[in-house]
């Protein structure tokens, strides 16, 4: 397999992972020599792939996990994490959801945004575009830092 294709596939996979998402995949892509435009588009699209599934199934999965001894603690932690992030949504509604996803800080991102939207009962036709805009904005910020255009340390 061509090394560029392998790098693209690895970048796509990283973008879909919780915690890593586009915030980790974009710097990784830049470090591995992928074209900045290609890496940005790839990471935004791939970061969004799991979101509709999270919105559709996360509540049912968490409810099931709570009934098991092995996963009940994890389910409670995930719900508590999502509930902690609901404050910004309550205060600013869709703008709050956008900001939750767009600001590239630990504990934020598309997965957390989808969890919060699901826990709040937000409809998919409102949640998906808002989360997508947040992912695109986060991608711009992360890419600018990754390329050295913006310095976060001074």
Q: Spell out the per-residue pLDDT of the chain, length 154, in tens.
A: 788 899 999 999 999 999 899 999 999 999 999 999 999 999 999 999 999 999 999 999 999 999 999 999 999 988 887 777 777 667 778 999 999 999 988 888 999 999 989 988 899 999 999 999 999 999 999 999 998 876 655 5
Q: How is the chain split into domains, by residue range? A: 3-146
Give the Å distances, CA to CA, from 12 to 24, 29, 52, 84: 11, 10, 17, 29
pTM, two decimal places: 0.88
Nearest of 143, 144, 109 to residue 39 by alpha carbon:
143
């Amino acid at each position: 397999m061509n090394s560029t294709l392998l790098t693209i596939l690895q970048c796509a996979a990283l973008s879909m992972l919780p915690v890593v998402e586009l915030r980790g995949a974009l710097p990784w892509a830049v470090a591995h020599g992928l074209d900045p435009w290609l890496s940005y588009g790839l990471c935004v699209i791939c970061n969004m792939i799991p979101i509709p599934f999270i919105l559709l199934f996360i509540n049912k999965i968490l409810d099931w996990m709570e009934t098991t001894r092995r996963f009940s603690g994890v389910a409670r932690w995930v719900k508590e994490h999502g509930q902690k992030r609901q404050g910004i949504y309550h205060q600013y509604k869709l703008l709050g959801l956008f900001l939750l996803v767009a600001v590239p800080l630990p504990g934020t991102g598309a997965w957390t945004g989808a969890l919060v939207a699901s826990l709040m009962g937000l409809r998919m036709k409102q949640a998906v575009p808002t989360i997508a805009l947040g992912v695109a904005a986060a991608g711009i910020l992360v890419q600018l830092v990754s390329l050295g255009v913006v310095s976060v340390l001074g």
